């Protein structure tokens, strides 16, 4: 019951987020992505494993993340110098452009030469369990509750698309939430609360499952 109440509070908090006053124009955004494409490509697929795939990402989520990075709420040193000069309209247009691109999928990582304490079959099963069912014994809710069984998120609620996301990026974000490096998950601190209950192996397992979820 407690987890359900927290989940509802987080959902309500996201719904209460102020909407951008601007309406994004994908065509205008196409002319503004030269800098963005150096890391995310023109199609929104991360050039390096640490750069997120943003093609097909939710529009409202991207608008919020870029504003958070620009304002220093979410520290991303690679992006901050480039977004600081963007206007609200620029952010809306760029987000609209990438939101209209095809959904990009990376795929699961090879399971060899990794320092996991589990064999490959158990490791894969653990990742799926965390994502689909959670781990009630340690208070970890199912990721699918917010990000959908398909991993395609919930655009109106601000829950991002995670399906096929870059493995290295996912691991870093979960570690950043766990270490309170990334704190832009609302007053409920929902992602921080979840990540704090995950071990290193559990973070890697669920990240691997999400990367291959398509």
More confident site: 188 or 40: 40
Neighbours of 100 (CB within 10 A): 16
- How far apart are the C-alpha atoms of 123 and 110, rounded to whole Å? 12
Closest CA to 8 of 141, 203, 109, 200: 141
Residue 111: per-residue pLDDT:
66
Domain with CATH 1.10.760.10 in the chain: 18-99, 120-211
Digit-coded pLDDT (tens) for 18-75: 444 689 999 999 999 999 999 999 999 999 999 999 999 999 999 999 999 999 999 9
Digit-coded pLDDT (tens) for 170-181: 999 999 999 999
- How far apart are the C-alpha atoms of 169 and 190, rounded to whole Å? 19
- How far apart are the C-alpha atoms of 56 and 59, rounded to whole Å? 8
Residue 9: per-residue pLDDT:
39
Which residues, at least 6 apart from 128, have a Cβ–Cβ distance to it below 8 Å?
A: 209
pLDDT band, very low/low/confident/very high, at 120 (cuts 50, 70, 90): confident
Closest CA to 24 of 55, 59, 68: 59
What average pLDDT score do residues 147-156 get? 95
Residue 113: per-residue pLDDT:
53
How far CA 46 is from CA of 43, 70, 110, 127, in Å, comes to 9, 20, 18, 23
Long-range contacts, stretch 173-177, CB < 8 angstroms, 24+ apart: 174/198, 174/203, 174/206, 174/207, 175/203
* Domain 120-211 in this protein, CATH class: mainly alpha
* 18-99: CATH, from 3.40.50.300, 3.40.50.2300, 1.10.760.10, 1.10.3130.10: 1.10.760.10
Q: Is the pLDDT of residue 199 over 60?
A: yes
Closest CA to 39 of 80, 77, 84, 79: 79
- 22: Cα separation from own chain's centroid: 23
pLDDT band, very low/low/confident/very high, at 135 (cuts 50, 70, 90): very high
Q: Residue 194 burial by CB count (10 A; 0-12/13-18/19+): exposed, middle or buried?
A: buried
Residue 12: per-residue pLDDT:
39
pLDDT band, very low/low/confident/very high, at 214 (cuts 50, 70, 90): confident
More confident site: 18 or 188: 188
Digit-coded pLDDT (tens) for 67-119: 999 999 999 999 999 999 999 999 999 999 999 999 998 877 766 556 667 78
């Amino acid at each position: 019951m407690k987890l359900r109440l927290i989940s509802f509070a987080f959902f309500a908090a996201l719904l209460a987020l102020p909407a951008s006053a601007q309406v994004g124009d994908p065509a205008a955004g196409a002319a503004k992505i030269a800098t963005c494409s150096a890391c995310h490509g023109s199609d929104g697929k991360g050039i390096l494993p640490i750069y997120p795939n943003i093609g097909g990402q939710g529009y409202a989520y991207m608008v919020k993340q870029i504003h958070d990075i620009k304002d220093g709420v979410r520290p991303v040193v690679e992006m901050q110098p480039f977004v600081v000069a963007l206007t609200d309209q620029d952010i809306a247009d760029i987000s609209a452009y990438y939101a209209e691109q095809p959904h990009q999928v990376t795929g699961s990582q090879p399971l060899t030469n990794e320092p996991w304490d589990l064999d490959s079959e158990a490791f894969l099963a653990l990742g799926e369990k965390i994502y689909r069912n959670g781990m009630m014994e340690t208070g970890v809710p199912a990721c699918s509750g917010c990000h959908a069984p398909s991993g395609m998120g919930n655009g109106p609620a601000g829950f991002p698309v995670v399906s096929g996301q870059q493995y290295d990026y996912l691991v870093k974000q979960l570690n950043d939430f766990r270490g309170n490096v990334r704190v832009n998950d609302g007053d409920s601190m929902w992602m921080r609360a979840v990540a704090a209950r995950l071990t290193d192996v559990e973070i890697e397992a669920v990240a691997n499952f999400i990367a291959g979820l398509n």
